[in-house]
Structure 1
Amino acid sequence: MRQYVISSTIPEITDPAVELVSGDPLGLARRLKQEDGMDIWLCGGGKLAGSLLSEIDELVIKCYPVVAGTGVPVFDGEFSPTSFALTGTRTFSNGAVVLTYGRG
């Protein structure tokens, strides 16, 4: 599995298995989607997710029964409604729920 860290503030990564990307995350996602292979899994903040929204095919949203107050937006950026349809749910004994949505 290839791993990328997209950051404009990290100067370098010493792990040879991880590639630092300081430039165009949208271009990277589009290039990766053209390659043969497995899915792309995005983990990060709302700013990154917002910049890649046009390339996101599926959302996996984890909901926990805890209210913590302030946090990072799921998607940050321009107001741009994008439809997704619920494709799966999984509920855990602790009340956590994982919701899966496909682009609608």
Structure 2
Amino acid sequence: MRKLVYYVATTLDGFIAAEDGTFDGFIFEGDHMAGINAEYPDTLPTQFREALGLQDAPNKHFDTVLMGRSTYQVPGGLASPYAHLRQIVVSTQVTGTPPDVEVVREDVVGRVRALKEEDGQDIWLCGGGKLAAALLPEIDTMLLKIHPVVFGRGIPLFDGKAGITKFARTNAQLFESGVSFMTYERNS
């Protein structure tokens, strides 16, 4: 069975973006970039993959990306940001998407359960915080890029009512840049 994997950058105080949806405070230079990009080239937007010469790199972990409206419509965003993946946007407001972007308007939990039953690689939950809170019961793994920065306010990792759910840390990578890459698996 495929897993739903919440792979996201976060601050020390648990925010995935500033209040306005930007993430300028995250560190985009340093030794963590090469390591993470080499292991997870599938999570780079298609245009960045091309710029880095990774357009032909195989998807190592994911064949599907799931994102909320705000993540999909990030300022300056593309209509098809992850063309190398099956793209699914959860929103009741998004319209006019290209044919390679599926929009789910209702029963997102049911849709995710159906996706998990399909053959293929894992499903990347790219954001945002509201969608992550709604899907917490379905999240199997969390891959957190923890940046050594505090936003004070912003969009939380889980934005909404979410019950207590325990995860076990299964891997930790520490980089000279100060970024920590942590892997957590849902406790059985």
Q: Secondary structure in 2 aligned to 1:40?
A: strand
Q: Structure with the greater relative contact order (CA < 8 A, sep ≥ 6): 1 or 2?
A: 2
> 2:133–2:162: 8 Å Cα contact kept in structure 1?
no
- Distance across 2 between alignment mates of 1:67 and 1:32: 35
Q: Deviations over 1:59-99 (max 9, x none)?
A: 11111111222111211332511000000111222100111
> Alignment partner for residue 87 of structure 1, among 161, 170, 173?
170
Q: Could you say which residue in structure 2 is the equivalent of 1:8?
A: 92
Aligned length: 103
Q: Which has the higher helix share?
A: 2
Which amino acid in 2 is paired with 1:12? G
Map 1:1-104 to 2 at 5 A. Answer: 1-13=85-97, 15-104=98-187
Shift >2 Å, 4+ stretches: 76-79
- Secondary structure of the equivalent of 1:41? strand
Q: Could you tell me the TM-score, scaled by structure 2's length? A: 0.52
Pair 79,5 (structure 1): closer, same or farther in 2 beyond 3 Å = closer
Match of residue 55 from structure 2: none
Aligned-residue offset at 1:11 = 2.0
Query: Residue 79 and residue 6 in structure 1: after superposition, are their counterparts in 2 closer, same or farther (change >3 A)?
Result: closer
Q: Which is further off, 16-25 or 42-51?
A: 16-25
Distance 1:90 1:8 in 2: 38
In structure 2, runs of 5+ residues without a counterpart are 1-84
Q: Which amino acid aligns with 2:169?
A: L
Gap regions ≥5 residues in structure 1: none
TM-score w.r.t. length of structure 1? 0.90
Q: Is the 8 A contact 1:12 1:20 kept in 2?
A: no
Describe the shift of the 1:79–1:40 C-alpha distance in structure 2 as closer, same or farther (beyond 3 A). Answer: closer
| Amino acid in the other structure paired with 2:144 | I
TM-fit CA distance, 1:101? 0.2
